[in-house]
């Protein structure tokens, strides 16, 4: 039995209050298997919050569905189970704030600017920009999610800058100031590269399929560093 089947069997035919049932099922069904529990918790966070984001925006484009599949690959024989969970989240009476609050408690390593929750936000940004534009309602949704995740405004802006289609402010992407000297910027860059290496994501319980986001994130960091380096050399 797949972990999706275990999860949905534990939930049963819940209607209207799916969130509490899902969170409790994750806590109990996978209690003795922390690695699977982390993977399930992360996957549920992506499914549930992307469903809520689609509802907030009012439009679910084919490109957003494709983006969802890029970062969240699942066996074809589990498509119905994933779709059921997505629809439960979309139809649940609980708002996305409640989802974000409850799902964030599943991360036992959580603290301010939690890296696991940053991974979730990156996934949501990837889906939101799939149609070529992050709409204002989507950005407001994501910003509020960041607040609920206790993400600092600076950290959120850093994440958002990585996803701006025209290329974000390289200083924001690296979380540094234009007034910082280059050795400081270089240390910051190397620290971020180490922190966000794909192997680190796997160790945090992020599904291996999330390598699309890891590669996208690394490309943004590299591009920002190269832009600053070029600017400093020309000065």
pLDDT per position as a tens digit, 187-220: 999 999 888 877 776 666 666 666 777 888 888 8
* Alpha-carbon span 91 to 113, nearest angstrom: 29
pLDDT at 224 (0 to 100): 92
pLDDT per position as a tens digit, 25-71: 787 877 777 777 777 777 777 888 888 887 776 666 677 767 777 77
The distance in angstroms from the start CA to the end CA of the chain is 61
pLDDT at 98 (0 to 100): 79
Share of the chain above pLDDT 70, in %: 82
pLDDT at 64 (0 to 100): 72
Q: What is the pTM of this model?
A: 0.76
């Amino acid at each position: 039995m797949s972990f999706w089947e275990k999860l949905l069997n534990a939930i049963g035919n819940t209607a209207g209050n799916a969130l509490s049932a899902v969170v409790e099922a994750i806590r109990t069904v996978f209690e003795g298997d922390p690695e699977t529990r982390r993977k399930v918790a992360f996957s549920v966070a992506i499914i549930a919050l992307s469903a809520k984001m689609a509802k907030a925006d009012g439009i679910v484009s084919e490109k957003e569905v494709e983006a969802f599949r890029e970062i969240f690959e699942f066996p074809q024989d589990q498509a119905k189970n994933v779709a059921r969970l997505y629809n439960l989240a979309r139809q649940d009476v609980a708002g996305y704030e409640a989802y974000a609050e409850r799902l964030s408690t599943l991360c036992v390593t959580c603290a301010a600017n939690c890296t696991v929750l940053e991974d979730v936000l990156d996934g949501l940004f990837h889906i939101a920009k799939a149609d070529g534009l992050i709409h204002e309602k989507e950005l407001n949704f994501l910003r509020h999610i960041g607040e609920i995740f206790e993400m600092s405004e600076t950290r959120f802006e850093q994440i958002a800058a990585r996803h701006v289609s025209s290329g974000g402010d390289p200083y924001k992407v690296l979380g540094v100031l234009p007034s910082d000297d280059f050795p400081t910027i270089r240390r910051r860059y190397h620290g971020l590269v180490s922190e966000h290496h794909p192997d680190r994501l796997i160790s945090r319980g992020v599904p291996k399929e999330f390598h699309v986001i890891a590669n996208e994130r690394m490309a943004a960091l590299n591009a920002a560093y190269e832009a600053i380096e070029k600017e400093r050399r020309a000065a």
